[in-house]
Amino acid sequence: MSSQLFSPFSLGALSLRNRIVVSPMCQYSAVEGNAMPWHRVHLGQLAQSGAGLLFIEATAVEAIGRITPGCLGLYSADNVAALRAVLDEVRSFSDMPIGIQLGHAGRKASSARPWDGGQLLPVSQGGWPTVAPSAVPHGAQEAAPQALDASGLERIRNAFVQAARHAAGLGLQAVELHCAHGYLLHQFLSPLSNQRDDGYGGSLIQRMRYPLEVFDAVRAALPASIPLGVRVSATDWVEGGWDLEQTLAFAQALKARGCDWIDVSSGGLSPKQQIPIGPGYQVPLAQAVREATGLPTMAVGLITEAQQAEAIVAEGRADLVALARALLWNPHWPWQAAAALGAQVKVPPQYWRSEPRDARGVFANAAIGQR
């Protein structure tokens, strides 16, 4: 029986060789938003993984939207030039489709890198004032963000549009909006962080308004050939917060606007979250979105084994699986999954001779002699 995980799939006009997606993974290694040599190594390695699609990490649309001082940005000419240099090198040896996740950290910006503690950085330590839907801090001991006014909303919406245009100019083949993990667009969605009393707060429709406006503006700015998807946190895992029912309403609204996929994650908005972590714990959320909307969905979260990923796709629980930590641990995970599932995967010819005897035929079109 042929593997469903290694069957082709299309996101809008973009054709993928298989259903494995490299998730956006923050590296906290940029300088002033600029990609550095680390990104050449990181993305270059993952571009040889055999996955169907590679996403660049969460990339800020303005400087104060960076999660940490080390986060990538796409808001300046220097950012564009630095990322172009990385992409030119990666594309010289890989034709894997590459997309980018665009986001704004909102009240979770101005934080230290995880290995430096991850706490909110004051201005005196290299941080900056943060913004959010409402002046409600993420943590009880943190300084409150500034509530966005009409001009701030317009500025950030325009920043998303400009970043999307930069992405198109760089030849990136897919764009994902980050509406998850407690960052700005998620902050508008959740009643825990959005306590506005204007047209952008209160009811579900009004809380969805700004993220949908950003989606519409970005969709209008991108060529039709570039698919646009959204990552959501399907639940805050906090009573009275954003939940699956609201996520389904948001997904339906996105579908009506031409969204090409929903990348279904969860949590990140509140320190009070209670997450039932276990293998594939978020897959039922992706399945619920898929069944309710018919939109292509990506399942993420503790998907680590080939047979587990195969079952998710084969049983119709999600259309694609997006791996993060599993690929950091083992960048050749798709090669080994193909061997386990009797499938084939495209790898660089320089590595063809590494094919083990018990996995002969895994490397697609591999044929090389040795003198």
Q: Enter the tokens of residue 307.
A: 């047979």
Where does the pLDDT of residue 369 fall: very low under 50, low under 70, confident under 90, or very high at 90 and above? very low
Average pLDDT of the residues of the chain: 96
CB burial of residue 271 (10 Å; 0-12, 13-18, 19+): exposed
Show Cβ contacts of residue 350 under 8 Å, excluding neighbours closer than 6 positions.
none
pLDDT at 56: 98
Residues classed as catalytic:
183
Q: Could you say which DSSP state residue 110 is in?
A: S
Q: For residue 67, give the 3-state DSSP assignment.
A: coil
Where does the pLDDT of residue 46 fall: very low under 50, low under 70, confident under 90, or very high at 90 and above? very high
Q: Please tell me the total count of domains within the chain.
A: 1
Task: Report pLDDT digits (tens) over 89-147.
Answer: 999 999 999 999 999 999 999 999 999 999 999 999 999 999 999 999 999 889 999 99
> Nearest to residue 285, comparing CAs of 230, 233, 324, 250?
233
Residue at 345 is within a domain: yes
For residues 134 and 294, give the distance between their C-alpha atoms in angstroms, rounded to a whole number: 33
pLDDT at 364: 81
Where does the pLDDT of residue 360 fall: very low under 50, low under 70, confident under 90, or very high at 90 and above? confident
Residue at 230 is within a domain: yes
Q: Enter the tokens of residue 63.
A: 């400087």
Q: Enter the tokens of residue 24.
A: 């956006």
Q: What ranges in the chain are assigned the alpha helix state H? A: 37-46, 77-91, 150-169, 184-189, 204-221, 244-256, 283-293, 306-314, 325-329, 333-341
Average pLDDT over residues 337-357: 91
Residue at 2 is within a domain: no
Sign of CA dihedral 329, 333, 337, 339: negative
Where does the pLDDT of residue 243 fall: very low under 50, low under 70, confident under 90, or very high at 90 and above? very high
Query: What whole-number percentage of the chain has pLDDT above 70?
Result: 98
pLDDT at 358: 82
Which domain, by its residues, includes 318? 9-359
- Domain holding 165: CATH number? 3.20.20.70
Residue at 368 is within a domain: no
Residue at 370 is within a domain: no
For residues 244 and 108, give the distance between their C-alpha atoms in angstroms, rounded to a whole number: 23
Residue 366 has a CB neighbour count (10 Å cut-off) of: 17
pLDDT at 357: 82
